[in-house]
Amino acid sequence: MNTAVDIRGLSVRFERGGSSVTALDRLDAVVPEGHVFGLLGPNGAGKTTLMHVLLGFLPPTAGQASIFGTDVRRAIARQRIGYLPEHPDTYRFLTARELLHTAGRLFGLRGRDLRSRSDALLERLDLTAAADRLAGTFSRGMLQRICLAQALINDPDLVILDEPTGGMDPFGRLRIREMIAELKARGKTVLLSSHELSEVELVCDTIAILYKGSVITAGSAAALVPAGESLERFFIRTIEAVDAGAADHAGKGAAHA
Ligand SMILES: Nc1ncnc2c1ncn2[C@@H]1O[C@H](COP(=O)(O)OP(=O)(O)OP(=O)(O)O)[C@@H](O)[C@H]1O
Ligand SMILES: [Mg+2]
């Protein structure tokens, strides 16, 4: 199987008022093509930062990452990506349909192709009835769905979704889950972050738990989580074990000092 995303020893440090924050710490991960890969991790673990590096928004301090074999520092790596940001927003003075037509034209789509692809996405994301309304009148969940439709207009091979179901009602979540299953069925790769562990368990082939900028464990939910334990319980236990290990280590260090 080919590799969609290859991340090796990736570090990102932010300088903040004279001190530095390590957002990613020698992170390694491989996402095979056609997989749905879920990034879990507490607030501040580094999920969004990792996505920003893959999207070329942030240069890594050390290490490297590639998408379909192309280094993410090269703009061409981004031509096959669709991206839903953590706090999606768009041009509120355009209607949903106009937004999709505008986004599609940026990728060279025209005429009947553009119209049929836009209509299909509006339908798929339950926005047909709102197609000719200004995005400025949309609820949060609707805004999220039109931004996802925009991200998919170019039929990307890698779809990066930063908390795609945050703020969505159960119907919206179901739509997103169905969209992800469809993308996978068509051989696309999906990298998503989420705090909704039950959703993650349903859609992801592989999950990676990120903490303090590193992957602390990765694999399929079935392989990672012991029978009878929930993914949520496993997640909390895993993070607590790292903290306990760090405290233990610090304690030993102090004893030696
Ligand atoms: N532009 C920035 N400048 C300084 N520090 C930053 C910047 N962006 C992120 N950070 C820090 O990097 C760390 C990782 O943040 P990041 O946003 O990647 O976390 P996250 O896992 O996406 O969290 P959440 O679940 O809350 O979305 C945090 O300590 C954050 O404060
Ligand atoms: Mg984030």
- Residue 50 CA to ligand 2 center (angstroms) comes to 9
Kind plus residue range of the DSSP H or E element containing 31: strand 19-32
More confident residue, 162 or 254: 162
Is the CB of residue 49 below 6 angstroms from any atom belonging to ligand 1? yes
Cα-to-centroid distance, 75 and ligand 2 (Å):
23
* Rounded distance between C-alpha atoms, residue 220 and residue 163, angstroms: 19
**What is the predicted pLDDT for the residue at 53?**
97
Q: What is the pLDDT of residue 206?
A: 96
DSSP per residue, 232-257: HHHHHHHHHHHHHHHHHHHHHHHHH-
The verdict on the CB of residue 43 being under 6 Å from ligand 1 is: yes
Binned at pLDDT 50, 70 and 90, residue 78 comes out as confident
Q: Is 170 exposed, middle or buried (0-12, 13-18, 19+ CB in 10 A)?
A: exposed
Burial string for 105-135 (b: 16+ CB within 10 Å, else e) reads eeeebeeeebeebbeebbebbebeebbeeeb
Atom 4 in ligand 1: which residue has the minimum CA distance?
Answer: 14
Spatial CB neighbours of 106, under 8 Å, sequence gap ≥ 6: none
List pLDDT tens digits, range 2-33.
999 999 999 999 988 889 999 999 999 999 99
CB of 47 closer than 6 A to ligand 1? yes
- Bridge partners (DSSP) of residue 124 are none
Residue 40 has pLDDT above 90, yes or no: yes
Q: What percent of the chain has pLDDT over 70?
A: 96
Banded pLDDT at 253 (limits 50, 70, 90): low
* Residue range 71-77: mean pLDDT, rounded: 92
pLDDT at 257: 46
Distance 234 CA to ligand 1 centre (A): 23
- Position 18 scores a pLDDT of 85
Is residue 164 over pLDDT 90? yes
How many angstroms separate the alpha carbon of residue 214 from the centre of ligand 2?
Answer: 15
Among protein residues, the one with the nearest Cα to ligand 1's atom 2 is 14
When pLDDT is averaged across residues 130-157 and rounded to a whole number, the result is 95
Q: Please give the share of the chain, as a percent, with pLDDT higher than 90.
A: 82
Q: Which domains does the chain possess?
A: 3-252 (3.40.50.300)
Q: With a cut of 70, say whether residue 173 has pLDDT above it.
A: yes
pLDDT tens digit sequence for 201-239: 999 999 999 999 999 999 999 999 999 999 999 999 999
Give the per-residue pLDDT at 246.
Answer: 77
> Residue 40 C-alpha to ligand 2 middle, in angstroms?
10
Distance of alpha carbon 165 from alpha carbon 150, whole angstroms: 16
- Assess whether the C-beta atom of 87 lies below 6 angstroms from ligand 1: no
